[in-house]
């Protein structure tokens, strides 16, 4: 009896302490010859490494607490990202006692937690409480960042309740994007719901997500002011509450040799801002589509094409729409900053203290139509060769009163992926960019549209 009791206690203990670990590691090296496309030259060259460990604490049947620790995350960047630490951090500062040239070691880095949430799963529903990843559709607006080389995430402090009925998902959610403290009010909050039909057998998918972001006047920190002192500025001043509705649709269908996905997003509402004495409405939109053609041979084809509206500097309303930064169609275009001015009108979401030659891949698809066919060659089980041709066209002139060219030009990329071992990928990219006249302006000295190229070599694994 005693032994039995002991055994029972032991199993309970074991259950209560079960932790499932998952995680990922990556090392990347990258150079881009002339991201400015003009003068100054601003060549980029950096390595970056990163590790994340995610323990899932299984408290009891259906109750979990999930955490994610980012080891060597990017501590110097203003972005709360999954960018790694720049390889070669040194002593971080250069007082006499800390001189890098005299130094013999590197600094140690703080481990940061990017997720922590409680998950209660029932038979047909689950509750999520805490800071958890948020996703929708093909990742045009929200991307959890679980790709091997993803640098960005959409973690949110949320309460969401997901109900599952056959192939239907219904999910109301609230996420608090900002709360200034213990007092009531003074918030930035998202409120919304999602309805999705997702049939994994047929690949049929149709859904809608409605969400309203609200901020009180005192919490409305949209970038405003003079554009000459604040490059991110989208209006003259803050005047009231922010209340913008975001509506996203997803549509998907799989056939034998073709799969198709389309996501569209629309913004509408009052931003609580004043520009030229008038209130500023958010009216941006974006559409992304993906076509995957499968054959039985070694060659397969894909196409990514879509559009994102861009803010017209000559109008009062804010027409800007930016895709999630994980959503890439090319290695350079829409991924790394190019040119000497804000051609894609993304400064409103960028760290403007960084420059084209000294920034990570923090550009996003915005103010453009793009068309990017991909030609995939499967050499063998371990080796893949992908070639992409990406072509882009601006939606509006990025400069006030501008009648400049809308030609973004085109890019040719080659990507060689080699599966070193099970779970371990070595990826090599080469990109050649032939920029269009959109990068050039008579009024901006140094702006040109010279040819540029870049390469990256990266190793990544997930477990
Ligand atoms: Ca509060
Ligand atoms: Ca505008
Ligand atoms: Ca990107």
The tens digit of pLDDT for each residue in 139-149 reads 999 999 999 99
Nearest by Cα to 16 from 64, 48, 77: 64
pLDDT at position 189 over 90: yes
Q: What pTM does this model have? A: 0.94
Closest-lying ligand to the alpha carbon of 366?
3
Rounded Cα gap, residues 1 and 12, in angstroms: 17
219 Cα to the center of ligand 1, angstroms: 11
Tokens representing 100? 């890098």
169 Cα to the center of ligand 2, angstroms: 36
**Cα–Cα–Cα angle for 223, 272, 217, rounded to 5 degrees:** 85
Beta-carbon neighbours within 5 Å of ion ligand 3: 325, 328, 335, 361
Closest-lying ligand to the alpha carbon of 362?
3
Determine which of 138-152, 300-314, 393-407 has the lowest per-residue pLDDT on average: 393-407
Nearest by Cα to 340 from 452, 223, 456, 225: 452
275 Cα to the center of ligand 2, angstroms: 9
Structure letter (DSSP) for residue 147: S
> Looking at residue 335, what is its pLDDT?
98
282 Cα to the center of ligand 2, angstroms: 9
Write phi, then psi, for 349 (nearest 5 degrees): -115, 10
The domain 2-462 having CATH identifier 3.30.750.24: the answer here is no
42 Cα to the center of ligand 2, angstroms: 30
Closest-lying ligand to the alpha carbon of 147?
3
> Looking at residue 1, what is its pLDDT?
45
Rounded Cα gap, residues 374 and 447, in angstroms: 30
Which class for 338: exposed (0-12), middle (13-18), buried (19 or more C-beta within 10 A)?
Answer: buried
Rounded Cα gap, residues 142 and 8, in angstroms: 45
Rounded Cα gap, residues 91 and 97, in angstroms: 10
Query: What percentage of residues in the chain have a pLDDT greater than 90?
Result: 87
pLDDT at position 196 over 80: yes
Closest-lying ligand to the alpha carbon of 176?
1
Task: Share the mean pLDDT of the chain.
Answer: 94
Closest-lying ligand to the alpha carbon of 183?
1
443 Cα to the center of ligand 2, angstroms: 20
Over residues 422-463, the pLDDT tens digits come to 999 999 999 999 999 999 999 999 999 999 999 999 999 999
178 Cα to the center of ligand 1, angstroms: 9
344 Cα to the center of ligand 2, angstroms: 13
270 Cα to the center of ligand 2, angstroms: 13
Closest-lying ligand to the alpha carbon of 348?
2
Residues in contact with 392: Cβ distance below 8 Å, sequence separation at least 6, in sequence order: 333, 334, 368, 369, 370, 371, 408, 409, 410, 436
Beta-carbon neighbours within 5 Å of ion ligand 2: 311-312, 315
124 Cα to the center of ligand 3, angstroms: 35
The CB density around residue 383, as the number of other CB atoms within 10 Å, is 12
Contact 287, 267 (CB under 8 A): no
Average pLDDT in the 116-127 region? Answer: 96
Beta-carbon neighbours within 5 Å of ion ligand 1: 179
């Amino acid at each position: 009896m005693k032994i039995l009791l002991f055994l029972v206690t032991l199993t309970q203990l074991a259950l209560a302490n079960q932790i499932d670990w998952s995680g990922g590691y990556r090392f990347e090296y990258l150079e881009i010859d002339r991201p400015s496309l003009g003068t100054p030259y601003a060549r980029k060259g950096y390595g970056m490494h990163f590790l994340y460990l995610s323990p899932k604490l299984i408290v009891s049947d259906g109750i979990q607490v999930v955490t994610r620790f980012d080891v060597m995350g990017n501590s110097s960047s203003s972005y709360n990202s999954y960018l790694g630490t720049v390889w070669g951090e040194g002593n971080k500062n250069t007082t006499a006692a800390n001189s890098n040239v005299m130094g013999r070691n590197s600094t140690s880095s703080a481990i940061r937690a990017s997720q922590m949430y409680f998950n209660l799963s029932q038979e047909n529903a689950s509750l999520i409480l805490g800071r958890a990843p948020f996703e929708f559709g093909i990742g045009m607006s929200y991307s959890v960042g679980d790709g091997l080389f993803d640098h960005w995430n959409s973690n949110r402090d949320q309460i969401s309740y997901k109900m599952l009925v056959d192939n239907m998902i219904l999910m109301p959610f609230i996420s608090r994007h900002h709360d200034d403290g213990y007092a009531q009010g003074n918030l930035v909050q998202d409120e919304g719901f999602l309805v999705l039909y997702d049939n994994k057998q047929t690949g049929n998918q149709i859904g809608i997500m409605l969400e309203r972001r609200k901020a009180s006047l005192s919490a409305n920190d949209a970038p405003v002011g003079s554009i000459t002192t604040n490059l991110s500025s989208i209006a003259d001043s803050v005047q009231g509450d922010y209340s913008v509705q975001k509506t996203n649709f997803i549509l998907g269908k799989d056939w034998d040799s073709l799969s198709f996905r389309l996501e569209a997003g629309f913004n509408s509402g009052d931003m609580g801002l004043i520009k030229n004495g008038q209130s500023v409405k958010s009216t941006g939109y974006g559409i992304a589509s993906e076509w995957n053609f499968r054959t039985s041979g070694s060659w397969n084809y894909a196409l990514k094409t879509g559009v994102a509206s861009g803010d017209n500097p000559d109008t009062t309303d804010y027409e800007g729409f930016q895709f999630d930064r994980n959503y890439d169609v090319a290695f350079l275009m829409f991924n790394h900053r190019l040119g000497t001015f804000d051609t894609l009108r993304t400064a409103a979401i960028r760290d403007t203290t960084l420059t084209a030659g000294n920034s990570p891949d923090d550009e996003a698809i915005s103010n453009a139509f793009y068309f990017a066919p991909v030609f995939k060659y499967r050499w063998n089980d371990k080796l893949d060769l992908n070639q992409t041709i990406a072509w882009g066209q601006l939606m509006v002139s990025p400069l006030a009163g501008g009648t400049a060219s809308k030609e973004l030009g085109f890019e040719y990329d080659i990507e060689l992926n080699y599966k070193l071992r099970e779970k371990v990928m070595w990826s090599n990219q080469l990109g050649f960019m032939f920029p269009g006249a959109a990068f050039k302006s008579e009024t901006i000295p140094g702006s040109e549209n010279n040819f540029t190229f870049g390469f990256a070599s990266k190793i990544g694994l997930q477990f």
